[in-house]
Structure 1
């Protein structure tokens, strides 16, 4: 993520409804790839969220049900939604569709991603109730205001002090409002354990490398603090009540269509970029073969390719 210490409310030139903060695009490439260039990943992030739309729709339907509980404001009373760590705004636009009475604010430290979010909202006819805000957790949310629903998906783990980030978000909830943190779940699987070449168990070994990368990424964050990642406890520790957790499956069975195969190819490309140097020679060769478009057993041609993953959503309510 880029470093923006404060968001402001000055409209950005040429972008209606854009809360514009100071930009500091200090993207770097370290040898261990733990510094993430979010702007360069824009298309990847957009494609990933589009691929997950069916699962995200399940999650937003669950939230609408929670908001109708007696202690909640009611789904029609949700007038303002914040998507914190919005990236290119795919989920922000899904939230705008799920809560048609609400103003939706996409919040992210990377201005190029917010430009894409605004463009998407405009294409979908949502521009009259869509805003963007440049800001970084936990200290860059000045001027953002409060909300009935705050959504943050896979963003809190990029903040050194996750408890402080949760507290910063909880402090912006209106009475009865919900904070939703999408963190954790089950890693994806896309291939049989033995898929015809390489050593069986390739995806399990790739997952182990990914976990090591994640630990290094967390340790390198400014102000990194170790914390037990008990998200319900983090939410209640920030003064929220009635914690709930629920996981939703993204189950895309074989055979996949061309767009779904492109998504998986992008995932494998990303794995090559970030993790290949930490794999042994045999697994690097397996990864290269999976990405070979001319190989009949590669990801673009094999009939048994699938996608199965789970994402967990943790929520709690302002008293």
Structure 2
């Protein structure tokens, strides 16, 4: 087999276990090419010959995997997300194994599934891809505040940041969802493809990243404390109880969404905090990403 490994050494806690994966994977006749970035190199220069390989291993955080998947969207080239970031939410949503040898086994089996993917257009015209969640407001504030603590605290940095920013900016929103205009208000808006976040908590009842539509969630509250009942409801969701999320969350669905906010809010996608504020637009790219997945993932999403 021929593997192309795109390794982002700037991701997460500097996890170098991808080299252990490569050593465990290698058998007679295999070819493994590792191309490394510290966040400076343009990943497009790494992927020009991606179609010559059996699989592209994207080693880094969720932002790294999403960047690779966006550049290879609709090509059918298999991508193996290797979790080397801080939260690694995509790997969790895909039910990927944590054991190196199980990961090697999954790579050898080369089972693939196609998943929906999102494209976000920022206010400055730049476009990026996201597999998980894009949003503006409270979530972006948390991620920006957590940047300096991730190396020391790992995923705990996000929770520390959430408590430190308990009174985020409250804004009036104008959402255009599939040409329908909705006026609402709150402290943040999320555009969701894969819905699970840390601790296996799902932001909406169903995790359906292959249905061709986004869930649009508005944090319809004056402050972060108003989200606590919704958080407890999300935790109960793991037991299959499906409680209501309370009035703190408004949920819509759509394939093309534009978000405007007054005052404007900071924007993020898959944990990557941008340098821009609202407005932004997203569009659905159905079945655009091909991921190498585990047997458990096949059962979850078939």
| Structure number, greater radius of gyration | 1
**As a proportion of its length, which structure holds more helix?**
1
TM-score where L is the length of structure 2: 0.25
TM-score where L is the length of structure 1: 0.24
Q: Which has the higher contact order (CA 8 A, sep 6+)?
A: 2
